[in-house]
């Protein structure tokens, strides 16, 4: 990896952490409503995988889809951060024009195909995106990020089976943070090693890796993405990770011990990557402090400002986007007598 890339990735991960921290504050200030699920702790997974995916090419991007913990996946795929924040503020300028909120960020222009609140629902949608790409003869792949909790839904089993039978180019990224909302994986899942649930059962290659180390994620994601694109087959990659905050804002984290949290905090992907870069002499502590300051300024003076100052959707437009707003009268017009 090039030195410039290392510094860029560190900056991105710090940005993602600070972005989510600022969401937390905005939620406390009641600027953000509804449910809010923050990604802090898991940054290396989305950052690393999506750095290896095809992004930045608009409609040629790989398709990305995920669950409700979706802000960072959207931004890393290419959704402007200020639009994501505006969405959280419920504004017309938001990623989904204020109709979706935190759990439903979409940016179709970047092939970010959405965040979904039904656990496990993105599995089949992702396979369908892959089917579409394959049918059109492009070499795009679909990347589906979901947590370990989603793997106990029927859609996991049904979709992995079909993705394998039909050779669909989809990468299933399992972000195993050990908890299905507030229930530990050992208490909910007969086989806690997620990657073992797919290889013999569905004839899909799979592997498990450290999701707290950005360099590991980059290396393993590249191999998996290359495989899916080249072989036109699904792959299942599991990253062991941890969320530093609760499942959502209403979560008091009573289901896990402080010792466990401290143990995982030692593996903080940002702290450890920072340490490595300092050790390698690429960056100093002061540089990181300056970087953090610059990011905070950007978040406050650009992103939050944009979200604050943007208009809300018009109530007169409440019923837009339910159905096609400009349907062809041949299919839905007045009935010919």
Partner 1 sequence: MAETAYWEAIRRAHDEEMARDKMVIAMGEDIGVAGGTYKATLGLYDKYGEDRVIDCPISENSYTGIGIGASMVGMRPIIEIMSINFALLALDTIVNAAAKIRYMSGGQLQCPIVMRTPGGTAHQLAAQHSARLARMFMSTSGLRVVTPRGPLDAYGMLKSAIRSNDPVIIIEHEQMYNLKEDIPEEEFFRSLEGAEVVREGTDITLIGYNYSVHLCLEAAKRLEADGISAEVVDLRALKPIDRETIRESVEKTHNVLVAEEDEAPVGVGSEIITGIIEDCFFALDSQPVRIHAADVPVPYNAKLEKAAIPHADDVYQGALKVLGKI
Applying CB under 8 A, the residues found at the interface with partner 1 are 63, 65, 94-100, 104, 106-109, 113-114, 116, 118, 121, 123-133, 135-136, 142, 154-155, 158-159, 161-162, 165-166, 320-325, 327-328, 330-336
CB of 37 to partner 1, least distance (A): 16
**Nearer Cβ to partner 1, position 123 or 264?**
123
The owner of tokens 């059962």 is 201
CB of 298 to partner 1, least distance (A): 25
**Nearer Cβ to partner 1, position 10 or 160?**
160
Please give the radius of gyration of the chain, using alpha carbons only, rounded to the nearest integer.
Answer: 20
Report which DSSP code applies to 105. Answer: -
CB of 141 to partner 1, least distance (A): 12
- State the pairing for strand pair 179-180/183-184: antiparallel
**Nearer Cβ to partner 1, position 15 or 156?**
156
d(CA 187, CA 300): 41
CB of 66 to partner 1, least distance (A): 13
CB of 73 to partner 1, least distance (A): 15
**Nearer Cβ to partner 1, position 100 or 246?**
100
The owner of tokens 């989305």 is 46
**Nearer Cβ to partner 1, position 28 or 332?**
332
Query: Facing residues of 205 across strands?
Result: 235
Burial 180-212 (b: 16+ CB within 10 A, else e): beeeebeeebeeeebbebbeeebebbbebbbbb
Element (H, E) at 240: strand 235-240
**CB neighbours of 44 closer than 8 A, spacing ≥ 6?**
13, 211, 212, 213, 214, 217, 239, 241, 269, 273
* CA proximity to 173, closest of 65, 291, 255, 259: 65
**Nearer Cβ to partner 1, position 1 or 118?**
118
Report which DSSP code applies to 301. Answer: I
Task: Give yes or no for a contact between 251 and 182, defined as CB atoms under 8 angstroms apart.
Answer: yes
**Nearer Cβ to partner 1, position 6 or 71?**
71
CB of 107 to partner 1, least distance (A): 7
* CA proximity to 158, closest of 192, 128, 133, 115: 128
CB of 126 to partner 1, least distance (A): 6
């Amino acid at each position: 990896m090039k030195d410039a890339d290392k510094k860029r990735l560190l900056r991105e991960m710090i940005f993602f952490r600070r972005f989510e921290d600022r969401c937390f504050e905005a939620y406390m200030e009641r600027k953000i409503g509804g449910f809010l699920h923050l990604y802090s702790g898991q940054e290396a997974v989305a950052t690393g995988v999506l750095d290896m995916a095809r992004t930045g090419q608009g409609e040629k991007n790989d398709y990305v889809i995920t669950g409700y913990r979706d802000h960072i996946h959207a931004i890393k795929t290419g959704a402007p951060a200020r639009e994501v924040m505006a969405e959280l503020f419920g504004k017309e300028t938001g990623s989904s024009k204020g109709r979706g909120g935190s759990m439903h960020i979409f940016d179709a222009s970047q092939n970010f195909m959405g965040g979904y609140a039904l656990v496990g629902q993105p599995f089949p949608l992702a396979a369908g995106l892959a089917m579409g790409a394959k049918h059109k003869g492009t070499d795009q792949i679909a990347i589906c990020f979901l947590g370990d909790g989603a793997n106990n839904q029927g859609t996991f089993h049904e979709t992995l089976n079909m993705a394998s039978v039909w050779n669909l180019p989809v990468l299933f990224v399992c972000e195993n943070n050990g908890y299905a909302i507030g229930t530990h994986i050992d208490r909910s899942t007969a086989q806690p090693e997620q990657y073992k649930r797919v290889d013999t059962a569905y004839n899909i290659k799979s592997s498990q890796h450290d999701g707290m180390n950005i360099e590991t994620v980059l290396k393993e994601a590249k191999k998996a993405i290359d495989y899916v694109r080249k072989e036109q087959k699904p792959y299942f990659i599991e990253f062991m990770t941890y969320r530093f905050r609760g499942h959502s804002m209403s979560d008091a984290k009573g289901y896990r011990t402080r010792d466990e949290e401290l143990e995982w905090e030692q593996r903080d992907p940002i702290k450890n990557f920072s340490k490595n870069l300092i050790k390698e002499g690429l960056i100093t502590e002061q540089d990181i402090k300056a970087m953090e300051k610059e990011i905070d300024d950007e978040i406050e003076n650009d992103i939050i400002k944009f979200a604050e100052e943007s208009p809300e959707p018009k109530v007169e437009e409440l019923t837009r986007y339910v159905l096609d707003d400009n349907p062809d009268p041949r299919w839905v017009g007045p009935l010919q007598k």
